[in-house]
Amino acid sequence: MSAIVSLLRVMTLRDAEAIVLEPGKPPVLRRRGNVEALAMPALEPALLADFATPLLGEQSLAGGPVMVTFHEDGTTYPVTLEQTARGVRIVVRRPAPPKRPEKKEEMYRQERQDLQGQSAESSPLPLGAPGALGGRSSSSVQGAVASSSAHHAPVSPIDSGESPRSRLAELLAEAVAAAHARGASDVFLSTGHGARVKLDGRLESLDVHVDDEALAAAVSALAGNGSADLSLETGGARLRVNAFAHLGGSAVAARIIKEHVPALSDLGLPDEVASIIEHREGLVVVCGPTGAGKSTTLASLVDLLDQRRAVHVITLEDPIEYRFAARRSLIHQRELGTHMPTFADGLRAALREAPDVILLGELRDRDTIAAALTAAETGHLVLATLHAPNAVGAIDRLVDAFPETQQRQARTQLAACLRTVITQYLLPKKAGGRVAALEVVPVTPAVANIIRKGELQTLPTAIQSGREAGMIPLERSLARLADVVSPQVIKRVAADHDLLASLSTGRGR
């Protein structure tokens, strides 16, 4: 026990967000978006079991991860326990900062009046500058200034000095814990509605109450009348969050990020996908609709790459999702808005940081696409996601991002550096859960020639006839799922119903 307590103190001293303790591995700190392994021997399973047993009490890990708390010297640490093949895996997060005592309503009202009087009388100084707002720091007054209005709105829970991010994390905690226990992928909070989750692609209600006023205050502080992307940790899970205002009020959509990077085999992806990491340069694009698991596939590829090769990987994400515990490689993760202003700026900076592999969260605009093509042309392996329904749509979108006068050059660049296009869909299974259906298009000389000439209408035929080159038409993948996915779902996704029918009857499999 004392050894674990010492590690928790190391986490605190190094200002880390969490420490991960796994049997047979050294402790790992999660700190400012990076993963840092401590220079010490691997942990013994018995040591972790001795720490976990009293925390579990009568609870069992057989049903999945268990969230508990550990108390030490007046400090409470959130702890997640999970059974693995080697023993108990433990994630301890740093304790939340103590809350300020609540003030009476009269004190809040007086403080707002004082702030309004000082800001009216004083000269206009930047918020946080010496002497601004009576010399108070920006962190202590921004919440009060934001909550002040001509109508003296009622004080929200954020006025207590708690940051909007922390308050939103608290509001999400119960719903996220319930969603995590049910295996849901997303959580939704919306003023005027109950909490809901997305489970296997279906929207379901949760018996969780959320204070509408507190939710509106947190979203307003973070997003104003627009929207804001951020990452949070709460309810024993990491989240990718979008907070936004809408016609009926305020809402939050939170994607639950799994603790471990899944292997490609866990995702049910074919061997043709694993072969992508053998490329030393070029562009690999993963397409599909929102929620199809594109980011997870890329993370699995980076994790597999890390197991097989020692390379320098830079990830550019919005926000950082999976956190990699590097084995052989050096992995630097950068977040949009925190470490770079735009994806294009991050890509241009990455070219000066000597990477071997660049993971790009999304090809969003012309500047980002142009920078990605340049990186791929100059000897880097670029892995990126793109919203497109198939390989034809992906290539069309990449080329159409450029003005008409530059599209011929863009096709030439793309033909030279594009290596593979993967399109994936997550389909609900009859028995529950979801399964991936894929189209895999390696860029052979014939495909490159089609791209260069702009004759994309002939690409589907090349995909259907290119089995020996590793081509997988979406319809072939769908035909293989006929026993586990309903025919209605398969027909809705398929683009070529004649091909699907021939493959389903055994011809052309």
Quick one: average pLDDT of 1-10? 79
Does residue 362 contact residue 386 with C-beta atoms inside 8 Å? yes
Which pLDDT value is given to residue 150?
32
Which pLDDT value is given to residue 200?
85
- Residue 350 to residue 371: CA distance in whole angstroms: 10
Which pLDDT value is given to residue 330?
96
Residue 2 has pLDDT above 90, yes or no: no
Tokens of 352: 């000066």
State phi, psi for 75 to the nearest 5 degrees. Answer: -110, 140
Residue 265 has pLDDT above 70, yes or no: yes
* Closest listed residue to residue 362, CA positions, set 353, 372, 352: 372
Residue 405 has pLDDT above 80, yes or no: yes
At residue 475 the predicted structure's pLDDT band, cuts being 50, 70 and 90, is very high
SS3 (DSSP) at 177:
helix
Strands 196-199 and 202-205: antiparallel
The DSSP bridge partners found for residue 203 are 198
Q: Each residue of 79-128: pLDDT tens digit?
A: 888 888 888 989 898 886 654 444 444 444 454 454 444 444 433 433 33
- Residue 103 to residue 111: CA distance in whole angstroms: 11
Quick one: average pLDDT of 321-341? 91
The verdict on whether omega for the bond into residue 460 sits within 30 degrees of 0, i.e. cis, is no
Tokens of 363: 């090809």
Q: Each residue of 60-88: pLDDT tens digit?
A: 888 777 888 898 878 888 888 888 888 89
Which pLDDT value is given to residue 230?
86
Burial 302-339 (b: 16+ CB within 10 A, else e): bbbbbeeeebebbbbbbbbbbbbbbeebebbbbbbeeb
Number of H helices, E strands in the chain: 17, 19
- More confident call, 350 vs 17: 350
Query: What is the percent of the chain with per-residue pLDDT over 70, rounded to a whole number?
Result: 85
- Domains assigned to the chain: 2-93 (3.30.450.90), 164-257 (3.30.450.90), 271-472 (3.40.50.300)
* Closest listed residue to residue 68, CA positions, set 60, 258, 45: 60
First to last CA, the chain: 58
Q: Is 49 exposed, middle or buried (0-12, 13-18, 19+ CB in 10 A)?
A: middle
Compute the C-alpha angle 495/501/506, nearest 5°.
130
Find which of 67-76, 233-242, 428-437 is predicted with most confidence, using mean pLDDT: 428-437
Does residue 318 contact residue 454 with C-beta atoms inside 8 Å? no
Does residue 426 contact residue 291 with C-beta atoms inside 8 Å? yes
Q: Each residue of 348-400: pLDDT tens digit?
A: 999 999 999 999 999 989 999 999 999 999 999 999 999 999 999 999 999 99
Please tell me the number of Cα atoms within 13 Å of 69 on its side-chain side: 9
Which pLDDT value is given to residue 8?
86
Which pLDDT value is given to residue 162?
66
Q: What angle in degrees, to the nearest 10, is found between the helix axes of 407-417 and 366-377?
A: 40
The contacts of residue 392 (CB under 8 Å, 6+ apart) are 456, 459, 460
pTM over 0.75, yes/no: no
Mean pLDDT of the chain: 84
